[in-house]
Structure 1
């Protein structure tokens, strides 16, 4: 007999497939309804349009009394996404007291999709991205555009790799993509991992100059933005 969490997730999955929501996809890993691989696309007419970002959602048998654990596998350069863990900064996921049992997997992923295009600096967890968005919008836009392009190149290989080796899923930042994934990818995939912007000495020079200047002037990233 299946658990209550299993039955709820099975129902959510069926309703979701019938709803055909734009830019959001998810499937259980190896038919385990407590662990899901999801894909969120950037909203149309936003800076993140065209991005294809993958996440993992892990549920417990206590669902829907408690929220799932959610993290990006392809970590975007974003003020509200932890650059190390890949966890999005969303109040009802971070604080169980703010969790609402009526929220579904679709609601969670829609919230993340909207968050990408609407960063909240007051809740920033990636202080470098927050500082850049606040003080150098042009450079921030360049970083996001490169993230979008890189996510598109990674989509096919990353999804296939995670489906067949899901226990080895790790969170990787966009700056680590080429170094990390080129070692395990096919020769075809290696071509996808080329990141022209990160190989541009002018762009990287501007980026590191900006980063060094801000760290020196501020004595580190401002944790109280």
Structure 2
């Protein structure tokens, strides 16, 4: 007999698949569904468009009374992401008292996707990133564009190149996929590591017309990052898919 947590996560996964959100995919990596790996792409028409970042989500049997632990495996240069742990700074993940049982896998991943292009400067864990954003926005933009390019290179070149290029990745663990029944290696790679590697071989740079622009925000989804009630979540999903020119197949 499956646990209550298993059945809840199975239902949330089905709901996420049915929502067909742009740029969000997720798969279980344990048969009890307590650990997942997700990929979140930057929103269209935002500074992070084209980025493909991997995250891990770890649940306990106490879910949905408490939130899961969420960390980036490819750690972005972002004011609200810890550069060492890869943990995103989001109120309802950091503080169980702000977690609501109506929140779900969809809520978490959509919130993180929105966070990328809507940094909260009063709630920062990467001081260097927020100071750069405030004092030298063109340099911040260039750093983010390098991060976007690096994440795409990692996705396109595959695991072998990632292992060879980034031997100082801080975390590594072996898991097996539930869906494909084959080994899957999840590695956590800090932005400093892959930025250093790819900046040495990059063939493209930010064009001059882009260097003085501030990050593009996504105002119609800002409410989600600041705290969105369950009843409004579907409206935000529909708005995102419409603005991104239709759903993306999972």
Structure 2 length as normaliser, TM-score? 0.69
Deviation, structure 1 residue 177: 2.3
State how far apart, in whole Å, the 2-side matches of 1:42 and 1:112 are.
Answer: 10
> Which residue matches 1:208?
none
Q: Give the conservation status (yes or no) of the 8 Å contact 2:146–2:195.
A: no
Query: Does residue 92 of structure 1 match 2:96?
Result: no
Q: Which runs of 4+ in 1 moved over 2 A?
A: 158-166, 193-200
State how far apart, in whole Å, the 2-side matches of 1:147 and 1:196 are.
Answer: 13
Query: Alpha carbons of 1:11 and 1:151: their partners in 2 closer, same or farther (altered >3 Å)?
Result: same
State how far apart, in whole Å, the 2-side matches of 1:197 and 1:91 are.
Answer: 38
> Which residue matches 1:174?
191
Query: Alpha carbons of 1:47 and 1:9: their partners in 2 closer, same or farther (altered >3 Å)?
Result: same
Q: Give the conservation status (yes or no) of the 8 Å contact 1:146–1:197.
A: no
> Which residue matches 1:118?
118
Q: Give the conservation status (yes or no) of the 8 Å contact 2:53–2:151.
A: yes
Write out per-residue CA displacement over residues 18-47 of structure 1, whole angstroms, 9 at most, x where no aligned residue: 221111100001444110000000011000
State how far apart, in whole Å, the 2-side matches of 1:131 and 1:194 are.
Answer: 24
Report which of the two has the higher share of helix.
1
State how far apart, in whole Å, the 2-side matches of 1:50 and 1:96 are.
Answer: 32
Write out per-residue CA displacement over residues 50-102 of structure 1, whole angstroms, 9 at most, x where no aligned residue: 00000000000010000000000000000000000000000000000000000
Q: Give the conservation status (yes or no) of the 8 Å contact 2:30–2:36.
A: no
> How many residues of Structure 1 are paired with residues of Structure 2 in the alignment?
185
Write out per-residue CA displacement over residues 112-146 of structure 1, whole angstroms, 9 at most, x where no aligned residue: 00010000110010000010001000000000000
Deviation, structure 1 residue 194: 3.4
Q: Give the conservation status (yes or no) of the 8 Å contact 1:84–1:171.
A: no
- TM alignment of 1:151-170, pairs within 5 A: 151-156=151-156, 157-158=158-159, 164-166=183-185, 169-170=186-187
> Which residue matches 2:235?
none
State how far apart, in whole Å, the 2-side matches of 1:177 and 1:34 are.
Answer: 29
Deviation, structure 1 residue 196: 4.8
> Which residue matches 2:68?
68
State how far apart, in whole Å, the 2-side matches of 1:63 and 1:198 are.
Answer: 43
Q: Give the conservation status (yes or no) of the 8 Å contact 2:36–2:58.
A: yes
Deviation, structure 1 residue 103: 0.4
> Which residue matches 2:149?
149
State how far apart, in whole Å, the 2-side matches of 1:64 and 1:75 are.
Answer: 26
Query: Alpha carbons of 1:79 and 1:198: their partners in 2 closer, same or farther (altered >3 Å)?
Result: farther
Structure 1 length as normaliser, TM-score? 0.76
State how far apart, in whole Å, the 2-side matches of 1:11 and 1:118 are.
Answer: 29
- TM alignment of 1:21-32, pairs within 5 A: 21-32=21-32
